[in-house]
Amino acid sequence: MNYVSDVAALARKDLLLELRAKETLPSMLLFVVSALAIFHFALPRGTSDVAARGLLWSALVFTALLGLTRAFVAEREQGMFDALVLTPVDRSAIWLGKAIAVLAFLVAAEIVALPAFAAFFHGLNGRTVAAVALADLGICTVGTLFGAMAVAGRARELLLPLLFLPTAIPIVVGGVGGYLWFLALYDAIFGLLSWAAFEYVVVET
């Protein structure tokens, strides 16, 4: 029960900080809607459904990257990352709390992005929504691990994309193809690996 309460407290902290600062979510919303609008006006009419889904997934991955970049920014700017790691909680609870907070931001952005996609490209089905939901889990769990790795580096803003984007390729492939089983398998494998590796990552950083 302590583990669950620790995770909830850490996630609530990040959500409350965002409610006060209003920095991460507005930037994610502006980015994803702007990207979809640019794709809509830049592409010729009659763009295939597969191409449209590819554009959607590109926009969602880079929107998630924007949120992940700021996942540990509060601790970094205040020099509190070491203090966070030294708190008397299971270190995987830090990872899970952060991942839940990032997931909340991403879902909030997608609540706007998916209807915008449907309006711009005249198509959105239940399979795509399910694929997005499964992909969100993988994006946030793996991305949070890489965010913790990048926070200690000098070129933080450069390191995170270099680590995260290659691992996001299977998510895009599964999302565009609508391979729900593939996305679920990705979530299970990489979520477990991220959970197991987080303690060693924060110790080394």
The per-residue pLDDT for range 152-188, each reduced to its tens digit, is 666 667 888 898 999 999 999 998 888 999 999 999 9
Q: Which of 11-25, 44-58, 187-201 has the highest mean pLDDT?
A: 187-201
Q: What is the average per-residue pLDDT within 60-81?
A: 79
Check pLDDT > 90 for residue 49.
no
Position 1 pLDDT exceeds 90: no
Domain that holds residue 191: 2-204
At residue 109, does pLDDT exceed 60? yes
What the block records as the tokens of 111 is 């609540």
Structural domains in the chain (count): 1
Tell me whether residue 112 is exposed, middle or buried, using C-beta atoms within 10 angstroms of its C-beta: 0 to 12, 13 to 18, 19 or more.
middle
Q: Average pLDDT of the chain? A: 85
Tell me which residue of 54, 81, 47 sits closest to 153, measured CA to CA. 81
Residue 89 pLDDT: 74
Counting runs of H as helices and runs of E as strands, what totals does the chain give?
9, 0
pTM: 0.88
